[in-house]
Structure 1
Amino acid sequence: MTDQQTPLRVVGISGSLRKASLNSASLRAARDLAPPDMAIDIFDIADIPLYNDDIRTENGYPESVQAFRDALKAADGVLIATPEYNYSIPGVLKNAIDWASRPPEQPFDAKPIAIMGASPGVLGTSRAQYHLRQCFVYLNGFVMNRPEVMIGQANSKFDPEGKLTDQGTIDFLKGFLVTLADHIRYHQRAKSRH
């Protein structure tokens, strides 16, 4: 298979546990709009317990955490849809990242990552996204710089069932996902040269 024929495996993570979450809806939209050479599998972080390193050092990783780490490690890239709580990252998302990032072989190292977000407000989770980017500086994740997806006034862009209906957002998201595929392949080629 050539580089362009190898399908890309992306793990999608929503930073919200709410059933009617706009961010989970955005992530499902991304999954459905992904280019033909990309498959986005959404990982549910709801079962990941509160981080306590005593658990890991005494008993190893909890099953849900190990499954999360394995999914991240096997993926070619990561797509995170984050809400913004109090100008920052939701606790459940930060908790999942904290668990996954423990040694050995933390799976965010040199992993291509894209971040998006949706909110009823006009800023579309911009502050939370910037805080999330800071986390990945330390973890050496290769976060895609642009385009940035900040879906403001998102409650008017989805139908009551959570389906994305705004054509401008659909088109923008398609372009974002094509760029994510290019971002992943760029880092794959760079890794293969070393």
Structure 2
Amino acid sequence: MTSGAPPPPMRVFVLAGSFRAGSLNIKLASLVARLIEEAGADVEEARIGEFGMPVYDGDLESAGGIPAGTRALCERLEKCDAFVIASPEYNASVPGGLKNMIDWVSRTSPQPFKDKQTMLVSASPSMVGGNRGLWALRVPLEHLGSRVYPDMFSLASAHEAFKEDGNLFKDDLQERLRETLTSFLRLVEADTRYVCLRRRWYEFLGDQTGAHVTQRAEG
């Protein structure tokens, strides 16, 4: 790159963690992607259903290795500067399909979640907007080295929240989402562009060369 030329746009991967076609979290992911694009970043959207993976089974892994869907997802994660997950809440916790995805990704090396800036959002018809599921989702991601942004966004009564154009009926709520995403992108920029500001917040044991460590998914 020529000296003095502006850096390329940041690359953000937005993943909708729902399989259902009419999912509120797919709608939220699309809104998030559009707001990130408006902030000047390059965005790539995907849905969890695009990455086919069986239920994690160590015998399956031993017999056939890492599924193609897992490898495809890892490639998308490796290419991005940051990613956002829009996750449903199932029974006050993480949806099984999303947790299964994380368990498969945990079996790969180098670990694509490590040091990756991450933001979590959710949408639900409930009054808490799926927020309990996001707290549970933080645990495996941070365990694998993701830098999960402290501020999360949960959209309550989401079945009544969206206009036909994909925006939110409540302007103040959409502005809060925009402000949260803008702050997140500023952190991503500092972490990926300005080496002098970087801090290694996590020690991921899976990267210790030559040392025996506990496997990330085992039964």
TM-score scaled by length of structure 1: 0.89
CA contact (8 A) 1:14 1:27 kept: yes
Question: Are positions 1:42 and 2:45 aligned together?
Answer: yes
Change (3 A) 1:143 1:106: same
Structure 1 CA distance for aligned equivalents of residues 145 and 128 of structure 2: 27
CA contact (8 A) 2:113 2:144 kept: yes
Change (3 A) 1:191 1:137: farther
Structure 2 CA distance for aligned equivalents of residues 109 and 16 of structure 1: 23
Letter in 1 for 2:94: I
- 2:120 corresponds, among 99, 104, 115, to 115
CA contact (8 A) 2:105 2:111 kept: yes
Match of 1:95 in 2: 100
Change (3 A) 1:3 1:42: farther
| Structural mapping, 1:109-148, within 5 Å | 109-146=114-151, 148=152
**Percent identity at matched positions?**
29
Please report how far the alpha carbon of residue 58 of structure 1 lies from its aligned counterpart in structure 2 after TM superposition. 2.8
- Three-state SS of the structure 2 residue aligned to 1:7 is coil
- Where does structure 2 lack aligned partners over 5 or more consecutive residues? 200-219
Bigger mean CA deviation after superposition, 22-31 or 58-67: 58-67
Aligned residue pairs: how many?
Answer: 192
Letter in 2 for 1:73: E
Q: CA RMSD in A?
A: 2.2
Structure 1 CA distance for aligned equivalents of residues 54 and 24 of structure 2: 23
Letter in 1 for 2:44: D
CA contact (8 A) 2:12 2:82 kept: yes
- 2:16 corresponds, among 11, 14, 17, to 14
Structure 2 CA distance for aligned equivalents of residues 150 and 190 of structure 1: 32
- Three-state SS of the structure 2 residue aligned to 1:10 is strand
- Three-state SS of the structure 2 residue aligned to 1:12 is strand
- 1:154 corresponds, among 158, 167, 185, to 158
- 1:70 corresponds, among 69, 75, 83, to 75
CA contact (8 A) 1:43 1:68 kept: no
CA contact (8 A) 1:25 1:162 kept: no
- 2:186 corresponds, among 175, 179, 182, to 182
Please report how far the alpha carbon of residue 4 of structure 1 lies from its aligned counterpart in structure 2 after TM superposition. 6.6
Output one character per residue of 1:3-24: Cα deviation in whole Å (capped at 9) or x when no partner: 9742111111112111111111
Output one character per residue of 1:18-66: Cα deviation in whole Å (capped at 9) or x when no partner: 1111111000011111134212212222123222233333332221111
TM-score scaled by length of structure 2: 0.80
Structure of higher CA gyration radius? 2
Letter in 1 for 2:181: L
Letter in 1 for 2:168: T
Question: Are positions 1:165 and 2:168 aligned together?
Answer: yes
Please report how far the alpha carbon of residue 116 of structure 1 lies from its aligned counterpart in structure 2 after TM superposition. 0.5
Change (3 A) 1:96 1:191: farther
- Where does structure 1 lack aligned partners over 5 or more consecutive residues? none
Structure 1 CA distance for aligned equivalents of residues 6 and 159 of structure 2: 36
